[in-house]
Amino acid sequence: MRRVALLLVIILAASPLVALPALAGGYSYGTTVYPSGTSFSPDPTVWLYVQSSTPSSLTVTLELSTGQSLPMTVNPALDVASVVLPTPPPPGTQVTGDVSISDPGYVTEVIPLSFTEASAPVQPLPESLAAWQFQALLNSDRTRQGLPTLTYDPILSAASAAHASYYQTYANSLYASGSFSLHDESPSYPNGYTGQTPYQRDIAVGAVFSGLDLEVLATGRPTAVQAYRALMDTTFHRFGLLSAQVNAIGVGWQPSSGTAPSVVVSDITGNAAAQVTPPADLLFPVQGAQNVPLSYVGEDPNPLSGIRSNAQLSTDPAGYPVSISFSSLAATSVEISQAQLTDAQGVVPTYLIDGATYTDTNPVYGGESMARGAALFGQSPLLPDTVYTVSFSGTENLVGGGSQPFSATWSFTTRPLASLTAAYLIGNTLVVTGHELDLASNPQPTLVGASPGLTPAWTFTQHTAVATFTQPPSLSGVSMGGQVVPISSPPFSDLTEASWAAQPIISAYNRGVVEGMGHGIFAPLAPVTGLQALTLIYRQAGSPATTLSPETSSLPSWGQAAASWALANGLITPADVGSLSQAAPRDQVVRWLMQGEGVAPLSTQPPFTDAAQIPAQDVGYVAAAAAMGVVQGFPNGTFQPLSLTSRAAMVKLLAAFFLPTMP
């Protein structure tokens, strides 16, 4: 099995991560004034780490070589002194000067400043579909834990995307040896360089420093969804992603390119001193979770490093990590007195990794701690389709002294082994359905009864596998891992009219999102009505409980809940209800879908020649959908906002936002 790189969560808070010299009088200070090297922010903040036992008497001043003298504000909570330059330096300008630090009765220290304003600053990044998927999955996990959700930050995404691109550029040089942190950049490798550390890169592009900055990174996954899964299937990354003190997220995704593997980078910020009241403990997987993975194949740093290296885990994986962590700021450390994993046969052999058993010895990805959490790893992979019960108990040590006992017991069910359920041949397209077919470790399906040499490339998408041929092939079935399913008649007889949408239609049908029109037909090219469109969006959202609105009483009973939900969430107004039986124009459907999925409109014009014809209330949502790649224009460059949306096109739009069931 190919090992996937899963990289350390770096938490950069107020503690001095830059080496500090010996105490100079009543204060200590960083060795570098930032920005340093190249700044990509149009309004750079000049800052420096400063610590003092008497910060109120400390004076920090920036003396620019132009003669300007700028007092810097000392923030003792963050151990930093900063000032925003009153006049943004033009692109390409070199900025030099000195920062002086003085305290009455002590020696005054001077640290030089030197940076060059980039000629092409990194720009805020509109939300991509990959970023939405990553954020939506994380917010779903956080909601299940009772944690606040994270908002999308285009500045953080610009920093994340820039580092993802930088990683790919140097994946086979700077990062190939494994001795240089994938979270760092080197000015000696200048192509795309935006800052050495995640914190410096975020500040460089204009992120607001709020006390807590972390970055997660995963490589080698075919999609951003699978990259997110890989991160949450580890321990240190999971603890960081489920922090109660973070509030904003940026995501950069680069698919594989040539010999460089894919990479997802996510920078997340928050306030280390935020007065958030998190749950007493965070249990993962949550109580009652389904489809929990079976194995653990490693991460950096590796909590099992004293037992099995990452290289060993790639061929001899351990069991999926079951964890408990304490997000409350009141907890300083946790002492585990009892931890156990059981199934129907009894106690499962496990490794317990906690503050007492884990020692950070990783020279490249150091700094991680199990002081406020613990994890149980099966000594071998967990069994498929099995109910497990986990229990932890111990003592939580509190800020200011004192302690309190804790205990937690909960259960979850592991995922079944990958299996096939049906295979449908629709024109030139073969669609195979099954369980867990989106796993990268699946054996590749093979064709049964096919002519020699017919070896298609498979695409795995949301529990379906798809192969497309140049012409309708002759075959009798599909096999995988010794299991064979014959070619069956598809659920609708007319899918050949829109074979390009056959996979999402079948997937949505199996999930109960779409139904046929009766008599075994789907009518893929028929226009979707407003009520049908809202019903599909509502079903994809999970058909959330809603109170029926009196305004929807005249609608067919099958659509009243969806229309009431749309009214309650601002997708439509009472004045729109009377027109829901009519075919829905493209711009309106796009707005509803984007609103229903929580995507904010953009203030820019969409890239279509007829953008001026898009109604004002819809244009921002069409622009966002175009930026995400959810909608494309016609070959002549138009969007044709008032044209109708076919049922097949509607399902294809929904497919872009469908996320698989989470653990």
Q: What is the pLDDT of residues 512-547, one digit of tens each?
A: 999 999 999 999 999 999 999 999 999 999 899 999
Question: CB neighbours (10 Å) of residue 47?
Answer: 24
Please name which of 39, 43, 54, 48 lies closest in space to residue 100, comparing C-alpha atoms. 48
Measuring CA to CA, how many Å separate 357 from each of 166, 281, 515, 560? 36, 20, 54, 57
- pLDDT for res 661: 64
What mean pLDDT comes out for the span 251-259?
95
Identify the helix (H) or strand (E) that includes residue 319: strand 318-319
Identify the helix (H) or strand (E) that includes residue 549: none
Lowest average pLDDT, out of 62-76, 334-348, 356-370, 538-552, goes to 356-370
pLDDT tens readout for residues 39-87: 877 777 888 888 887 888 899 999 999 999 999 998 886 678 888 899 8
What one-letter code names the amino acid at 358?
Y
Q: Using omega within 30 degrees of 0 as the cis cutoff, is the peptide bond preceding 303 cis?
A: no
Sign of CA dihedral 624, 628, 629, 635: positive
What mean pLDDT comes out for the span 464-490?
92
Three-class secondary structure of residue 312 per DSSP: helix
Q: How many CA atoms lie within 13 A of 53 on its CB side?
A: 5
- pLDDT for res 32: 86
Rounded distance between C-alpha atoms, residue 58 and residue 305, angstroms: 44
Tell me 632's DSSP state: -
- pLDDT for res 651: 96
pLDDT at 265 over 90: yes
Confidence label for 371 from pLDDT (cuts 50, 70 and 90): confident
pLDDT tens readout for residues 21-32: 434 457 888 888
pLDDT at 561 over 70: yes
pLDDT tens readout for residues 169-216: 999 999 999 899 999 998 788 888 888 889 888 887 877 766 678 999
Look-up: residue for tokens 């969430």? 569
Rounded distance between C-alpha atoms, residue 69 and residue 62, angstroms: 6
Rounded distance between C-alpha atoms, residue 296 and residue 280, angstroms: 26
Instruction: List the structure tokens of 474.
Output: 């002759």
Q: Which residues pair with 248 in a beta bridge?
A: 151, 269
The whole model's pTM is what?
0.85
pLDDT at 275 over 60: no
Burial class (CB in 10 A: 0-12, 13-18, 19+), 105: exposed
Q: What is the largest CA-CA distance in the chain?
A: 91
Residues 6+ apart with CB under 8 A from 566: 534, 537, 538, 572, 592, 596
Residue 311 backbone phi and psi in degrees, to 5: -60, -40
Letter string b/e over residues 627-640, b meaning 16 or more CB atoms within 10 A of that residue's CB: bbebbebeeeeebb
Please name which of 151, 161, 303 lies closest in space to residue 224, comparing C-alpha atoms. 161
Residue 377 backbone phi and psi in degrees, to 5: -115, 125
Instruction: List the structure tokens of 287.
Output: 């109580």
Burial class (CB in 10 A: 0-12, 13-18, 19+), 358: buried
Helix ranges restricted to H, 523-662 = 530-540, 557-568, 586-596, 616-628, 647-656
Check: CB of residue 396 under 8 Å from CB of residue 403: yes
Confidence label for 18 from pLDDT (cuts 50, 70 and 90): very low
Instruction: List the structure tokens of 612.
Output: 């001026």
pLDDT tens readout for residues 287-316: 999 999 999 999 999 999 999 999 999 999
What mean pLDDT comes out for the span 405-412?
96
Please name which of 201, 215, 213 lies closest in space to residue 272, comparing C-alpha atoms. 213
pLDDT at 231 over 80: yes
Rounded distance between C-alpha atoms, residue 536 and residue 559, angstroms: 10
Letter string b/e over residues 585-600, b meaning 16 or more CB atoms within 10 A of that residue's CB: bbbbbbbbbbbbbebe
Q: Give the strands of the sheet with 429-435, arranged side by side.
A: 446-448, 477-480, 483-488, 419-426, 429-435, 464-468, 459-461
Check: CB of residue 169 under 8 Å from CB of residue 192: yes
CA angle 83, 84, 89 (to 5 degrees): 130
Burial class (CB in 10 A: 0-12, 13-18, 19+), 575: exposed
- pLDDT for res 272: 59
- pLDDT for res 439: 62
Q: Which string of DSSP letters, residue by residue, matches 82-138?
A: EEE-SSPPPTT-EEEEEEEEE-TTS--EEEEEEEEE-SSPPPP-PPPHHHHHHHHHH
pLDDT at 659 over 50: yes
Burial class (CB in 10 A: 0-12, 13-18, 19+), 355: middle
What mean pLDDT comes out for the span 485-502?
95
Question: CB neighbours (10 Å) of residue 450?
Answer: 18
Rounded distance between C-alpha atoms, residue 432 and residue 425, angstroms: 9
